[in-house]
């Protein structure tokens, strides 16, 4: 696989850079999710259920 990336004649820098950006982004998101507090996750999980929904057409 890496041999094919090396044989692209000048385009490999863009491919390797985009792959690294992609991997770094998802590793950082994964670390953020694992370090997120459980209380915050519970609040966000119940947020749509806990808030009363009012529609403007129902209010008179």
- pLDDT at 28 (0 to 100): 97
Phi, psi of 8 (to 5 degrees): -90, 0
What pLDDT, on a 0 to 100 scale, did the predictor assign at position 51? Answer: 62
Helices (H), 1-60: 2-6, 12-35, 38-50
Residue 45 has pLDDT above 90, yes or no: no
Domain boundaries, the chain: 12-46
- Rounded CA separation 19/51 (Å): 41
Q: Tell me the chain's radius of gyration from C-alpha atoms.
A: 23
* Higher-pLDDT residue of 56, 28: 28
Q: How confident is the model at residue 55, as a pLDDT?
A: 63
pLDDT digits (tens, 9 = 90+) for 11-25: 778 888 899 999 999
Whether 42 has a pLDDT exceeding 80, the answer reads yes
Q: Which residue has the higher pLDDT, 12 or 8?
A: 12
């Amino acid at each position: 696989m890496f041999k094919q990336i090396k044989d692209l004649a000048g385009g490999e820098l863009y491919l390797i850079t985009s792959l690294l950006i992609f991997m770094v982004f998802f590793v950082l998101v994964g670390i953020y999710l694992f370090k997120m507090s459980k209380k915050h996750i519970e609040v966000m999980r119940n947020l749509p259920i806990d808030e009363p929904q009012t529609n403007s057409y129902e209010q008179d």
